[in-house]
A and B are shown apart, each in its own frame.
Chain A
Amino acid sequence: GAVVSQHPSRVICKSGTSVKIECRSLDFQATTMFWYRQFPKQSLMLMATSNEGSKATYEQGVEKDKFLINHASLTLSTLTVTSAHPEDSSFYICSAIIAGIPNQPQHFGDGTRLSIL
């Protein structure tokens, strides 16, 4: 149980393109999802916390107009990288927690490898 699906797994696109990444909880409801960015051989860096039905909370230094987050249902959050540039190339990972359960691990998707040419 507690499966999180992330799509697409890999994106290669031209500079200036906007890219949307989907994160779905397949077998549970997730009021809260998290978006991370990970550079090679580094740890996960939290970008934002996505709450169903409300605005996302962004970490310091993360541009909310650059990384648009929408969490319109209890099973889907999307991250849109707007006008992507080569420096946005990275591994983006989402996670979700089951609604109403304290002290639980985050359940992760398998990430999206974004390459901007």
Chain B
Amino acid sequence: GESVGLHLPTLSVQEGDNSIINCAYSNSASDYFIWYKQESGKGPQFIIDIRSNMDKRQGQRVTVLLNKTVKHLSLQIAATQPGDSAVYFCAENRAGGTSYGKLTFGQGTILTVHP
């Protein structure tokens, strides 16, 4: 849904620490989830995705965890670097219907990495 008037959650970490960004989704019919990174003035950049038949997926320095029981998604970034500073969005895709490829975006989290 819309987040008009709300401030984005923020997460501040020190360089080298691990970061965990959380996302709650509402639609139990969603079967595909994506994490995006958005830097200031740019479009969202794909980080990692996961299908609902999995509960964990790893990439380079990133891990996505999916808990379908509580409808929760998290993004873990290992050894966070200043270049990781950005807004992170989760997105979900609902299975079937007429909304092929359509994504619903979460509120977003601002990650700030301090040197």
Contact = CB atoms under 8 A, between A and B. Distances in A.
Contacts of A6: 43
Given A93-B43, A110-B43, A44 B105 contact: yes
Nearest to A36: B105
B4 A106 contact: no
25 contacts: A32-B100, A32-B101, A34-B102, A41-B8, A42-B3, A42-B4, A42-B108, A43-B3, A49-B99, A49-B102, A93-B43, A103-B32, A103-B49, A103-B51, A103-B93, A105-B34, A105-B36, A105-B46, A106-B91, A107-B46, A108-B43, A108-B44, A110-B41, A111-B41, A111-B43
A59 to B, nearest CB: 10
Interface residues of B, number: 32
Size range of the chain A interface in the assembly: 20 to 34
Given A41-B8, A43-B3, A43-B89, A103 B102 contact: no
Interface in B72-94: 89, 91, 93
Interface in A7-47: 32, 34, 39, 41-46
